Structure 1
């Protein structure tokens, strides 16, 4: 399901969903000490299963930047290099250290997430040296996604909102961020209902 100019159904401008499937009542209003910057590939902006939008709506200290390549003159390009911040890129790989909460570093902490398919996320990283120079961190192995209507590119792959919640629960263990997953789960359940159980089981259930 995609939105087009000819789509005349009532539309919620806040959550970017049809009014009949509005998720606003399920989106929390949480705060965090950690700042999240989600860099979203432009092709994901209008995707009906846009979990980055739900994440940023539900977390006060989060921002969404829609771009494939950051301009060297942009504010975010400069902020990502600001030594007054402890800025890390959440991205799996051999170069990534395990994400930890405890640290002697007292600077405010910023976590950067890349939103898109695995191929598009790698493209964002590839064309932005400013991101390549950031320390990389990764989530523990063994996490499982509830993103049941997209096939995971690898074991342990999570949606953007799931990865953010897992990361925040590690960094700030005294706060429960799981409420950010409530609209996400409703979104997935609605998509499964729309496609029908038979199609869902045929295309997405593991064999």
Structure 2
């Protein structure tokens, strides 16, 4: 079966979202690889229709996979983080509150107030869910990840009133590190203006993700360690989180999702160029496509399932398709220019 896309009316494969003449499905020789290390992809919304986006290969090839679409924050967003083990946060009772947004008329949206607000002067959340058990962190951010509001169950009254807001400081609390290491659930809400210049806003849920114990973020930040060194410190990776987009988009995802700072950061140290080659710019050697990063990272943590290399073969063939399409377009343009020039010369004669 196939569908058509836009005005081009090209038949599109519903499984891989590629034109049927370049369908990837039959190229996945080992579909549904039973990877024991789960993979979570934060997929930039603007990458979804890019012909060279390799997340589609991961979707076809990996069984244990979660993909969450992430948009840029152009106005405001907020995150609610709930502990998977609500009894693990020693030190304080009650739930954190997050009264971050109000309607333009001053009425509070979803204004069910928690009976056990953590502190009278630190009432920063509303009960958006029917059951707020285990809600530990609430944070609101603006464009570029600037934090406008932050509350968590480990902060003191003085820190609650402090104008300096830093997500990184949460991990300074040993009890916070212990509780969050047992896993958490993160929910993101995007707040958008309905009309430019008009004070009308709406808020909708963008994603909800479970981040289990043993999760790591694959991102080369300043605090990232070589993924090959994890065995030496006895850390077992159970969930690999990958950011999908161009380098600039990946950096935006990172800066606009402060909850990623909770996770251990790992990086790949490879010197080879991506199979993207000349069809998509890579800043330098070692900057790989999403599917290349996933395959190399899974291998680094001991995942040697049959078929992983086949995913790279599929990616290479997809790049080859794009290269041929590029050459065909250039050839057609050259022929059109040459034909025009010949017609011009003939008219002069």
State the partner residue of 2:249: 120
Higher relative contact order structure (alpha carbons within 8 Å, sequence separation ≥ 6) = 1
> What secondary structure is seen at the aligned counterpart in 2 of 1:17?
coil
TM-score, normalized by length of structure 1?
0.84
State the partner residue of 1:87: 215
The 5-angstrom pairing of residues 1-207 of structure 1 reads 5-27=6-28, 28-29=30-31, 30-68=33-71, 71-72=79-80, 74=187, 79-80=210-211, 82=212, 85-100=213-228, 102=231, 104-105=234-235, 109-148=238-277, 149-176=279-306, 177-196=308-327
Check conservation: 1:53, 1:64, Cα contact below 8 A. Answer: no
| Separation of aligned partners in 2, 1:34 and 1:153 | 28
> What secondary structure is seen at the aligned counterpart in 2 of 1:175?
coil
Check conservation: 2:36, 2:303, Cα contact below 8 A. Answer: no
Check conservation: 1:31, 1:59, Cα contact below 8 A. Answer: yes
Residues 108-159 of structure 1 show CA distances to partners (whole Å, capped at 9, x for unaligned) of 6101000011111111111111112211000123233111211112331100
Residues 25-48 of structure 1 show CA distances to partners (whole Å, capped at 9, x for unaligned) of 112321111000010110001111
| Separation of aligned partners in 2, 1:92 and 1:99 | 10
In our comparison, the structure showing a higher alpha carbon Rg is 2
| Separation of aligned partners in 2, 1:125 and 1:173 | 26
| Residue segments in structure 2 that go unaligned for 5+ positions in a row | 73-77, 81-185, 189-206, 331-349
Paired residue total? 194
Identify if the C-alpha distance between structure 1 residues 67 and 178 changes in structure 2 by more than 3 Å, giving closer, same or farther: same
Deviates more, 1:185-194 or 1:168-177: 168-177
State the partner residue of 2:93: none
RMSD over aligned Cα atoms: 2.5
Identify if the C-alpha distance between structure 1 residues 12 and 116 changes in structure 2 by more than 3 Å, giving closer, same or farther: same
TM-score, normalized by length of structure 2?
0.51
> What secondary structure is seen at the aligned counterpart in 2 of 1:190?
helix
